[in-house]
Amino acid sequence: MKRIAVFCGSGEGTESIYKEHAYTVGKTLAEQGIEVIYGGAKIGLMGAVADGALQHGGIVRGVIPTFLRTKEVAHTTLTELIVTETMHERKLKMHELSEGIITLPGGWGTMEELFEMLTWGQLGLHPKPIGLLNTNGYYDSLIALNETMIQKGFLKSTYSSMLITSASIDGLLSQMRAYIAPVRPVWMTEQTT
């Protein structure tokens, strides 16, 4: 993986560990020669990821829609800042530029980005690994919900491997490198006679 999209919050959260982990993600990706594709802001966890990468010689491409350029305070020292018209175009551009996805703590916007990438993977629209950095147990409830979806018959167990989780960036990257996308079910492929 040479380019990873990072989805995360524009806020910092209530505990310093969230920002510390976000900075470490950027630093680690830069040190491993992995380009960072992210939401383009200089605030919150987004800014920490960018700063971590930039301060360690990394390439960082931000993607931000016009209407958020001032609200999320666009980062001014990025390798490249790509401005889109809409949120959907932002997400699509981040997807197009990346070979994998990492999600850090965040709110509804971060969840929407994560779930769309998971859904696209489930539908066979991409084979990219999708990592969830479970900082300080932030995503414990989501991981449990994933299991509930499987147990209650709303998510096939085949897809449980699509959500790669770890409490450390090194553990997450290791699993992402070994990821093999699940085979699409028969009902999603062309019928042959």
pLDDT of residue 51: 97
- Alpha carbons 108 and 114: distance in angstroms, whole number: 10
pLDDT at 143 over 90: yes
What is the average pLDDT across 43-66?
97
pLDDT of residue 193: 37
| DSSP string computed for 98-136 | -SEEEE-S--HHHHHHHHHHHHHHHTTS----EEEE-GG
pLDDT at 18 over 60: yes
pLDDT of residue 71: 67
pLDDT at 160 over 90: no
Exposure of 76 in the CB half-sphere (CA atoms within 13 A): 2
Taking Cα atoms as reference points, which of 181, 169, 153, 164 lies closest to residue 22?
A: 169
What is the average pLDDT across 20-47?
97
What is the average pLDDT across 62-88?
89
Catalogue the long-range contacts made by 62-69 (C-beta closer than 8 Å, 24 or more residues apart). Answer: 62/38, 63/37, 63/38, 63/39, 63/90, 63/93, 63/94, 63/97, 64/39, 64/40, 64/90, 65/89, 65/90, 68/40, 68/41, 69/40
Ordered domains of the chain (ranges, CATH): 3-178 (3.40.50.450)
Q: What angle do CA 126, 128, 130 make, to 5 degrees?
A: 125
pLDDT of residue 188: 53
Please name the helix (run of DSSP H) or strand (run of DSSP E) that holds residue 82, with its range, or none. strand 80-84
What is the average pLDDT across 42-68?
96
Percent of the chain with pLDDT over 70: 93
What is the average pLDDT across 32-37?
98
pLDDT of residue 161: 86
pLDDT of residue 190: 53
Give whole-number Cα distances, 75 to 2, 43, 138, 147, in Å: 22, 8, 26, 38
R_g (Cα) of the chain, nearest Å = 17
For 96-140, the pLDDT digits (tens) are 999 999 999 999 999 999 999 999 999 989 999 999 999 999 999
What is the average pLDDT across 6-13?
96
* Mean of pLDDT over the chain: 92
- Alpha carbons 117 and 76: distance in angstroms, whole number: 27
